[in-house]
Amino acid sequence: QVQLVESGGGLVQAGGSLRLSCAASTRTFSVNDMAWYRQAPGKERELVAGITRGGTRNYADPVKGRFTISRDNTKNTVILQMDSLKPEDTAVYYCYAEIYVWSRRGDYWGQGTQVTVSS
């Protein structure tokens, strides 16, 4: 079974930086789109940033210019570098990957990691 394992997150003051990492536990199956989502208390889960296998990136408007998404296809990892953090970035961040297992498409999620930005 393929799993997404996240690391990073924590508590940081406003204006600080954090780096989130996520690794898909497969070297066999094709990992296509990867992304980071977040969910704040009382709110719906929202897309933060996404990246295709070819490297095309997209960002939610609130994080443009502050967050950077990157990936390593050889390791099936995705990184979210978060700079100039604001209190409104506080949320649980989830890694996402579209993975074809035996040619069957599936949506995979990490367990979530807490990011807290203090003012």
Tens digit of pLDDT for each residue in 86-95?
999 999 999 9
pLDDT number for residue 29: 87
Average pLDDT value for the chain: 96
Fill in the DSSP letter of residue 29. Answer: S
Where does 1-119 have alpha helices with state H? none
Q: Is the pLDDT of residue 28 over 90?
A: no
Collapsing DSSP to helix, strand or coil, 54 comes out as: coil
At 48-68, the pLDDT tens digits run: 999 999 999 999 999 999 999
Contact 98, 107 (CB under 8 A): yes
Say what percent of the chain tops pLDDT 90: 92
- Convert 77-96 into a string of H (helix), E (strand) and C (coil): EEEEEECCCCHHHCEEEEEE
